[in-house]
Structure 1
Amino acid sequence: MDAQTLVDERGELWLALAPLWLEREPRETDYAHMVKVIQRHDLTPNQLEWIFRLELAPVLSRQQMSVVGEWRAFDENKLLRQLVAHNLRLHGWRRKTWALFSGLTTMMTRHRWNELMARVMVERERLPH
């Protein structure tokens, strides 16, 4: 998969989910936007979990743990470049290694992720199939 295909397929979803890693707790509007974008992408909970654990957490947890101070916003273009670079290399041993360590990279945002997934499930039950 090339960089443009990754941006086309995942860019909107990645950027919508990035606030899970911000220093501040996501706002209601953040969660509402995340749910709306997730619904557009029509992914299963399992697929979403792996996107969270393997595609996003390795990049965003490093930003979250950095010592540069507050991280209340992010540069979307820079973030997309970092996410694309990471995901283009996410094969073989790298994928297995990130899967192994995904508990550590998601630890600080797991409560937010669980809240988001609960909201997604409520929304999916509310909508007609």
Structure 2
Amino acid sequence: MTPIGTQELDRELKKGSAELLILSLIEHRARHGYEISKLIEERSGGVLKFNVASFYPLLYRLEERGMIAGRWVEKAGQRRRRYYKLTAAGKEMLKTQRSTWRDFVHAIQVITEAENA
């Protein structure tokens, strides 16, 4: 078995948490894609950054699956932006993903801290 390198692990962790992060950030208000990606980067202290080439296709897939709904908004003097909001299905998905994430993190903590107890 080949050990997973830091970059590969980082990529897999980001991939596995991206939906949860996006759904969480639009839970209470609609946001545009750039704002969502910047909030993820800022709130994680720069640890989590998403490449535009992978981030926007993820938004489109969430929209296709009915988890989020997007609408174009034009404001004077600004470029047109697509704002995303959570759908009812997205709220259920977010609830499930949060629960799964809490269970996962708890299990990792129990395992990695077991010898220190």
TM-score normalised by structure 1 residue count: 0.32
The structure with the largest strand share of the pair is: 2
Structure of greater relative contact order (alpha carbons < 8 Å, 6+ residues apart): 1
Larger radius of gyration: 2
The structure with the largest helix share of the pair is: 1
TM-score normalised by structure 2 residue count: 0.34
